[in-house]
Amino acid sequence: MLVDHTPVETQSPINQLIHKGQERLLARSTDTFSGLKRKSQSWHYSMDDESDSDHDDHDEMEESGVRSRSRKGALDFTSEDPIALYLKEISRIPLLSGKEEVELAKAIERGQEATQQLTEDAQLTPQARLHLQDLVEKGLKARCKLIESNFRLVVSIAKKYIGHGVSFMDLIQEGNIGLIKAVEKFEYRRGFKFSTYATWWIRQAVSRALSDQGRTIRVPVHMGERITQLSRVSRELIQKHGHAPTDEEIAVEMGITVKLLERIRQAAQHPLSLELEVGEDMDSTLGDFIEDDNNAPPDDSAMGKLLSERMEDVLASLTAREHRVLQLRFGLQDGRSYTLEEVGQKFGVTRERIRQIEAKALSKLRHPRRSRRLRDFLE
């Protein structure tokens, strides 16, 4: 990657931002843009929804000296917002024609070739070296100009992903990384308009950022794209038919099966912390209201313990053999219920004999004198 060696303090605010992004790989929304803030006045900015497939469509920026009512779908910022300062600054950068884009791409290519030649050829004459260094400098300037002139394209794409767990400024910066990659890989000889080529790289960078940073549990990029598609298709079907679409309608529109649709919905769910504060006074946590399925409620535990003690008292009134047979047959000891055959093998008698012992023991338990002690637990 070619780097601008101009001292940072003498660069424009936009160049300073690019320089910082190159050093960190990515400038985050924690940057305050203090250099931009000093240059700003109180103003209002709104930007309508626009197509990101054409470079001309992202030139719909407005400025005014007072706060005004925003139009439907507009993004509103004040001069205190670092995003507003950034948007105001890039709105002053002129757009490029297709011919200018090609000329800049050629200058970048010549600069890259000159850099390679300077590195590999140690036998250059002073005059040739100066010429190559001039090409490198022009290539750096062309690269910077091509990047800056497409910042608005990044904004127009990034704003479509607002509300998915990543801040708008971070989306813009991720998109700028994609824009830089597009500049490096742009092949002007194929005849494509740069904005058309760059759109794919910008979208990919933003989508990957959403997958990597937008969720507590990382979702694969392809699944993240499916989740975005699901949201878009659902909105379109509601607008088209006037009612919530069925799973079958959504699956047909997306070209997938209903089973895959269910998997996408599961992946789209966001986890919540059990420590999340809730209530009017925020004095409780979400975990306080969720039942623990692994542990019985305190009253049930106390009742179960009391029942076990009472059951042991009743069984103690039987003979030792009857007591043991009922324990094995009904799983009163370890939770496992044994068959007549298995109990018979333990006692060395036939299964029929065990059945008789069991019937006699149950008959004794039905006697009012014994059953009365367990009746309270059956009500």
Report whether pLDDT(15) > 90: no
What pLDDT does 28 receive? 46
Report whether pLDDT(236) > 90: yes
What pLDDT does 316 receive? 83
Q: Which of 355, 360, 324, 323 lies closest to 339, judged by CA?
A: 355
Strand partners, 284: 278
Report whether pLDDT(272) > 80: no
Residue 39 banded pLDDT, cuts 50, 70, 90: very low
What pLDDT does 25 receive? 46
The proportion of the chain whose per-residue pLDDT surpasses 70, expressed as a percent, equals 75
Report whether pLDDT(38) > 80: no
Residue with tokens 């997958």: 211
Go through the chain and tell me how many residues it has.
379
Q: What is the pTM of this model?
A: 0.49
- pLDDT tens-digit map of 107-124: 999 999 999 999 888 888
Residue ranges of domains in the chain, CATH in brackets: 8-214 (1.20.120.1810), 217-290 (1.10.10.10), 298-378 (1.10.10.10)
Among 73-87, 168-182, 269-283, the range with the most confident prediction by mean pLDDT is 168-182
Residue 171 banded pLDDT, cuts 50, 70, 90: very high
Report whether pLDDT(24) > 70: no
State the average pLDDT over residues 263-275.
83
Q: Which of 4-8, 12-16, 115-119, 317-321 has the lowest mean pLDDT?
A: 4-8
What pLDDT does 378 receive? 57
Residue 80 banded pLDDT, cuts 50, 70, 90: low
What is the CA 27 to chain-centroid distance, rounded? 20
State the average pLDDT over residues 292-312.
74
The answer to whether the CB of 82 falls within 8 A of the CB of 169 is: yes
- Phi, psi (deg, nearest 5) at residue 285: -115, 160
Q: Which of 248-257, 299-308, 350-359 has the lowest mean pLDDT?
A: 299-308
Q: Name the H helices within the chain.
A: 13-24, 34-39, 82-90, 98-120, 126-148, 151-158, 168-185, 194-213, 221-241, 247-254, 258-268, 298-315, 320-329, 340-347, 351-365, 368-371
Q: What is the mean pLDDT of the chain?
A: 78
Q: Which of 44-53, 128-137, 203-212, 367-376 has the lowest mean pLDDT?
A: 44-53
Count of other CB atoms within 10 angstroms of residue 152? 23
Report whether pLDDT(153) > 70: yes
Residue 307 banded pLDDT, cuts 50, 70, 90: confident
What pLDDT does 376 receive? 63
